[in-house]
């Protein structure tokens, strides 16, 4: 397989991102959304992250978007301003090819360069072993599980919380 080209997202990527996310919404438990947002909503979300100078990247293979990842605020309150939450979605036909790990490593580098100190992963469904393994491989530690907090596809779902220090983490003040 060709190694993915990880690059910043552009507005031209939004249709592919919308398709990838729609599949995750309709067929997976990585997101707890129940209805896939349309391209206009995905563009609005992209613009909001871009306006906040948060990293948003795509993995491109042979000219096609194979996956995407972004970081956004973990929580809105000012004390959380140095903590981000990551999101990663891979096209269904591209799973298990190292794309998620490549995206996450780039996202970690970009958020460190931007001065963030902690990255949180809120992984939908404790059965999402692939995402949990990718996060562990990229230095995340288990931070807990919120049990049965979502209901999708007729069943209760957990969220797995994981955390990784960025740069000096909490060893120095920002």
The CATH number of the structural domain formed by 5-165 is: 3.40.630.30
Q: Which residues of the chain have pLDDT under 50?
A: none
pLDDT for the residue numbered 5: 95
The secondary structure element, H or E, covering residue 101 is: helix 99-113
**Phi/psi at 86 (nearest 5 deg)?**
-95, 155
pLDDT for the residue numbered 2: 78
DSSP secondary-structure letter at 34?
S
* Whole-Å CA distances, 84 to 20, 48, 81, 93: 22, 14, 8, 28
pLDDT for the residue numbered 25: 98
pLDDT for the residue numbered 1: 61
The secondary structure element, H or E, covering residue 25 is: helix 14-27
pLDDT for the residue numbered 3: 86
* Per-residue model confidence as pLDDT tens digits over 57-82: 999 999 999 999 999 999 999 999 99
pLDDT for the residue numbered 59: 98
């Amino acid at each position: 397989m060709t190694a993915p080209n990880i690059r910043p997202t552009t507005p031209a990527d939004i249709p592919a991102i919308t398709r990838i996310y729609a599949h995750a919404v309709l067929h997976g438990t990585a997101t707890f959304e129940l209805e896939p947002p349309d391209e206009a909503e995905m563009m609005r979300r992209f613009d909001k992250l871009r306006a906040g100078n948060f990293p948003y990247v795509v993995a491109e293979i042979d000219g096609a978007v194979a996956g995407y990842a972004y970081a956004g605020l973990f929580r809105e309150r000012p004390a959380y301003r140095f903590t981000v939450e990551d999101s990663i979605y891979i096209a269904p036909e591209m799973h298990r090819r190292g794309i998620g790990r490549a995206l996450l490593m780039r996202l970690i580098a970009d958020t460190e360069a931007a001065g963030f100190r902690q990255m949180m992963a809120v992984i939908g469904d404790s059965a999402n072993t692939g995402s949990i393994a990718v996060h562990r491989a990229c230095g995340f530690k288990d931070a807990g599980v919120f049990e049965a907090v979502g209901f999708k596809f007729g069943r209760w779902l957990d969220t797995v919380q994981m955390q990784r220090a960025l740069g000096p983490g909490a060893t120095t003040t920002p």
